[in-house]
Amino acid sequence: MTGNSEWKERGDKVFIGTYSRFPAAMVRGKGCRLWDADGREYVDFLSGIAVCSLGHCHPAVTEAVCTQAGTLMHVSNLFYTAPQIELAEMLTANSFADKVFMANSGAEANEAAIKLARIHSGPDRYEIISLSGSFHGRTLATVAATGQPKFHRGFDPLPQGFVHAEFGDPLSLEGLINEKTCAILCEPLQGESGVRPLEPEYLQTIRKLCDKHDLLLIFDEVQTGMGRTGTLFAYQQLGVVPDIMTVAKALGNGLPIGAMLTREDIAVSLGVGTHASTFGGNPVAAAAAVAVMRIMLEDGFFAGVREQGEYLAGRLTGVAARFPDLATGVRGSGLLLGLVLTEKGINLGAEIVEQLFQQGVLINFAGNRVLRFIPPLIVGRAEIDALIDRLAEVLAGLSS
Ligand SMILES: *Cc1c(COP(=O)(O)O)cnc(C)c1O
């Protein structure tokens, strides 16, 4: 049988080198576990980057996908399909929104939000303010919105009309508002740049600034949405309601699907022909998402996420206390948690991730600053305990 090293060699020959990958070819997944081509087993605290929130190959999602794939795979948005309608009904019934546009990814959902904000406010108002450290995607407009220069390098000229306020500083935000501004775009909790929550008071100030200056508030919940922080959407526990919201990652538990949600009075600005996607809301992806939502909306699901999140945060806090030379504490919400590292810890971050990988535990080093833990939301104490044991072992070997 073909093993990891042979797959790696073949892959490296044919892929454009945009990714730095673990040297493993994954062949099978179930729940919180993955197996590679050498037959090694992993405990997964990455979930395909916060995607497989119900665990790998959840039977209800697999069943929905297989049934739909055998019935109707694709017709485009020239027609109605039942799964897409059911999904939009569930999303609107469980959020502030009345209307949905279906996309295939987080970046595409954000592109739709950016286009909506502009067409709704234009033609003279088009500027969007986002925050330093933010991540909104890799298309040209979403990379321009992303507040991290390292993602811009080499791609000039970027689309115009994106400016970045200093994270956590309401004055910096207010100073950027002018007659051209149409929206403020932010993640309720920054995921990629190192699990950085926005304080509720800060978010409330952002909401007030939007109201005062007649701006749209766009929440990028691509990573925080779909139960990750312990409620269906993160905004639901922050006392702030956006005007536009995007979701993707965990929506299809691995099938590519994203959505942009808004209120009816804003949605009317995107009329026939203004925006489209051939695959958006594809029946198979939508059927997966309907299955995901049914499970998440069952009694007790989000309470379970909060409970395991508290348990994991508590255990990680214990680890930080044991190794103060490497870690200073824990931040995040629900099961989107980061172990904050000291300067020394940051220098060893890649090494920690690598050693855990060798030990059969998958995590990542978000923003090269914080060890990020984003397990499937169905993670149990046994897996959390296994992670903590191995993490403590690895840190003990690196601590002075
Ligand atoms: C992952 C992510 C995106 C981009 O999603 P893609 O599906 O990779 O295009 C956008 N915003 C946030 C907050 C994300 O975490």
220 is catalytic: yes
Q: Is the CB of 220 under 6 A from ligand 1?
A: yes
**Which residue owns the Cα nearest ligand 1 atom 11?**
136
249 is catalytic: yes
Q: Is the CB of 192 under 6 A from ligand 1?
A: yes
- Per-residue pLDDT, 1: 79
Q: Give me ligand 1 centre to Cα 107, in Å.
A: 6
CA distance 396 to 393: 5
DSSP assignment of 60-125: HHHHHHHHHHTT-----TTS--HHHHHHHHHHHHTSS-SEEEEESSHHHHHHHHHHHHHHHH-SS-
135 is catalytic: yes
Whole-model pTM? 0.98
Convert the pLDDT of each residue in 170-226 to its tens digit.
999 999 999 999 999 999 999 999 999 999 999 999 999 999 999 999 999 999 999
Instruction: Say how many C-beta atoms besides its own lie within 10 A of residue 166's C-beta.
Output: 15
Determine the distance from the C-alpha atom of residue 150 to the mean position of all C-alpha atoms in its chain, rounded to a whole number. Answer: 19
- One-letter amino acid for residue 224 of the chain: T
Instruction: Say how many C-beta atoms besides its own lie within 10 A of residue 301's C-beta.
Output: 16
Is the CB of residue 320 less than 8 Å from the CB of residue 343?
A: no
Atom number, ligand 1, closest to the C-alpha of residue 191:
15
List b or e across 56-74, with b for residues whose CB sees 16 or more CB atoms inside 10 angstroms.
bebeebeebbeebeeeeee
Q: Give me ligand 1 centre to Cα 3, in Å.
A: 31
Q: Is the CB of 223 under 6 A from ligand 1?
A: yes
Half-sphere exposure for 181 (CA within 13 Å, toward CB): 23
Q: Is the CB of 111 under 6 A from ligand 1?
A: no
SS (H, E, C) 192-257: CCCCEECCHHHHHHHHHHHHHHCCEEEEECCCCCCCCCCCCCHHHHCCCCCCEEEECHHHHECECC
Q: Is the CB of 190 under 6 A from ligand 1?
A: no
> How sure is the predictor about 17, in pLDDT bands with cuts at 50, 70 and 90?
very high
Place of tokens 């502030």: 96
The torsion region of residue 137 among left (phi > 0), alpha (psi -120 to 50) and beta comes to left
Q: Give me ligand 1 centre to Cα 249, in Å.
A: 7
Q: Is the CB of 187 under 6 A from ligand 1?
A: yes
Half-sphere exposure for 376 (CA within 13 Å, toward CB): 23
Quote the radius of gyration of the chain (alpha carbons, Å): 21
- Per-residue pLDDT, 400: 80
CA distance 378 to 304: 8
Q: Which of 99, 167, 219, 249 is catalytic?
A: 249
In terms of Cβ atoms closer than 10 Å to its own Cβ (0-12, 13-18, 19+), residue 240 is: buried
**Which residue owns the Cα nearest ligand 1 atom 10?**
136
Convert the pLDDT of each residue in 100-153 to its tens digit.
999 999 999 999 999 999 999 989 999 999 999 999 999 999 999 999 999 999
**Which residue owns the Cα nearest ligand 1 atom 6?**
106
Mean of pLDDT values over 262-288: 98
Q: Which of 162, 220, 243, 365 is catalytic?
A: 220
Convert the pLDDT of each residue in 330-373 to its tens digit.
999 999 999 999 999 999 999 999 999 999 999 999 988 999 99
Convert the pLDDT of each residue in 21-68 to its tens digit.
999 999 999 999 999 999 999 999 999 999 999 999 999 999 999 999
- Per-residue pLDDT, 368: 87
CA distance 6 to 246: 39
Contacts of 149 (CB under 8 A, 6+ apart): none
Q: Is the CB of 107 under 6 A from ligand 1?
A: yes
Instruction: Say how many C-beta atoms besides its own lie within 10 A of residue 390's C-beta.
Output: 18
Contacts of 68 (CB under 8 A, 6+ apart): 83, 283, 284, 287, 288
Q: Give me ligand 1 centre to Cα 222, in Å.
A: 6
Pocket test for ligand 1, best of 135, 146, 196, 279 (most atoms within 8 A of CB): 135
> How sure is the predictor about 260, in pLDDT bands with cuts at 50, 70 and 90?
very high
- Residue ranges and CATH numbers for the domains of the chain are 4-57+300-398 (3.90.1150.10), 72-296 (3.40.640.10)
Residue 42: name the closest of 53, 58, 29, 55 by CA.
29
Q: Which of 135, 167, 219, 302 is catalytic?
A: 135
Atom number, ligand 1, closest to the C-alpha of residue 49:
1
